[in-house]
Structure 1
């Protein structure tokens, strides 16, 4: 019994250390899509990361100033909200050098998709997919200075 308790405390200590990895917070910046049409800001709550859309040309009406409404949201109560500063990504956790287990919200169809993120230098690679990552799409972002 003592060896089981020792083993459990060792594993929980390793898990806590992995979650407190200072490399995990490298994501906490403003990132700009390589096409320059969007900017997102990553935030942290506990050991979970999320991103807010802070600018996006596709979220604007034809006048280029007014934000569109979230008309395809699966929650009818949210369909009248604007797409200004909405939560784009939620639930990301850091493990083994990448951020995984996240969901990304697509306001254009009201669906959420899986997302995994890696960072190389000043470049963030966002893999968005439904089901298996190999069938997804990678979106490249750069550190906004």
Structure 2
């Protein structure tokens, strides 16, 4: 084996060792929304999960030319918060095996919904929001 091939093999081995294995039901990580318009970083915050917007496909408001803000929020005191950095999860706690429940904020309409989150595959996160018996779900994919 040539020096260059050995070095390449060592780099790949090192990368494989350096990246921690994710448990099959671990919701932490960075996720791309189903529409592909935002990345959400999910972390553990004590006993809860935090979900924070860390990237937007369109980070600038086309009307103002300024960074996108939470302008759909009915609370005018919160309507100028930047979307990037916005905390979407509220009280998301374990609710059974591979299931977390709480509330999720939707910046598209300024409303919070009862929510259930589950890992549906090694690269997919099912996010469900409900108002009463009416629910909608989307699948987020693990971002690279």
TM-score under structure 1 length normalisation: 0.70
Residues 1-12 of structure 1: matches in 2 within 5 Å? none
> How many residues end up aligned between the 2 structures?
122
Stretches of structure 2 lacking an aligned partner (at least 5 in a row): 1-21
Distance 1:33 1:85 in 2: 15
Shift of 1:46: 1.3
Distance 2:114 2:24 in 1: 19
Label 1:107 to 1:36 Cα distance change in 2 as closer, same or farther (>3 A): closer
1:4 corresponds to which residue?
Answer: none
1:108 corresponds to which residue?
Answer: 108
Instruction: Tell me if structure 2 keeps the 8 A contact 1:98–1:116.
Output: no
Distance 1:130 1:24 in 2: 29
Is 1:128 the counterpart of 2:140? The answer is no
1:93 corresponds to which residue?
Answer: 93
1:50 corresponds to which residue?
Answer: 50
Tell me the C-alpha RMSD between the 2 structures.
2.7
1:5 corresponds to which residue?
Answer: none
More helix per residue: 1
